[in-house]
Amino acid sequence: MSKSPKQSRLVQFIYHGFLPFIDLQKVLNSLRGLPGYVVALFKYMVRSKSWLINLDLYPMLDDKTKNTGVDYHYLYQQIWVFNNVNKLKPKDHYDVGSTYQMSCYLAGITKAHFIDLRPVQADIENLDLLEGDIENLPFKDNQLESVSCLHVIEHIGLGRYGDKLDVNGPEIACKELGRVVKPGGLLYLSTPIGRERICFNAHHVWNPLTILKYFKGFELVEFNMVDDEGKLHRDIKVKSFKKNEYSLGMFKLRKK
């Protein structure tokens, strides 16, 4: 989720430090929604002539928002990959650890394969679900024509998802992705970009030039960015990147 660059690092530290134990924003929103919930409950009981105060109560207190909440990183990156795959029509498309939902949609236009450390248990037509480690992908060298890996490499090696701690994890993951793509094949990669740092154990944030160094055997076909405010910048120059706090870089790479 995009963060405002106006937030101080101290505020972010306090917020994320306590977030695993209590979501303060959700609590505040729920408290604000409680009076309206009680009023609505009694109005509904009067109109329906029924008693609803029982163990089936299911208060939803923080959904009355002016706008629908959107994670612009995931919105734009998934549309980006879907549109590219739909246009190019590869025989197979392989996604490494992004979201199974996107692979489900891709299964409607090509043979889709979803590889994850924690595989999804589902029965989706035209979708192959595989267990695999991005640091040791179950494919031969130069095998795959079309591959995506969205919002994944920044987590590798931090232990967040049950993977092993590995300070070189992201670089190894990039080498593995590069290894399995065939010459002329495409890799769609996204990861946070901004002030380069490790936010343990959530994610890494990189300067986009660092990512390009990890893929020396590739040419950059297209670079897009979702900035700190959630605005999409299409097909821009990497050198035009400004050191934002937490943006998203979307790299379309072709293996030489």
Domains and CATH numbers, the chain: 1-69 (no CATH), 72-255 (3.40.50.150)
DSSP state of 75: H
Q: Cα–Cα distances in Å, from 206 out to 37, 59, 180, 181, 247?
A: 44, 41, 23, 23, 10
- Give the containing element (helix H, strand E) for 127: strand 127-131
The three state secondary structure string of 15-65 is HHHHCCCCCHHHHHHHHHHHHHHHHHHHHHHHHHCCCCCCCCCCCCCCCCC
pLDDT exceeds 60 at position 3:
no
pLDDT exceeds 50 at position 39:
yes
Q: Of 245, 234, 230, 233, give the one whose Cα is nearest residue 68.
A: 230
Q: Please report where in the chains the tokens 């092993």 appear, as a residue.
A: 164
Q: Is the pTM of this model over 0.75?
A: yes
Question: 220 near 253, Cβ under 8 Å?
Answer: yes
Cα–Cα dist 237/221, whole Å: 11
pLDDT of residue 4: 47
Sign of CA dihedral 178, 181, 187, 189: negative
**pLDDT tens-digit readout, 48-75:** 999 999 999 999 998 888 888 899 999 9
Higher pLDDT: 30 or 144? It is 144
pLDDT of residue 20: 66
Across the range 210-225, mean pLDDT stands at 97
Q: Residue 2 — pLDDT band, cuts 50, 70, 90?
A: very low
pLDDT of residue 78: 98
Q: Which residues fall within 8 angstroms of residue 190, CB to CB, at 6 or more apart?
A: 73, 77, 149, 150, 151, 248, 249, 250, 251
Cα–Cα dist 192/174, whole Å: 14
Q: Which of 9-13, 66-70, 158-162, 205-209 has the lowest mean pLDDT?
A: 9-13
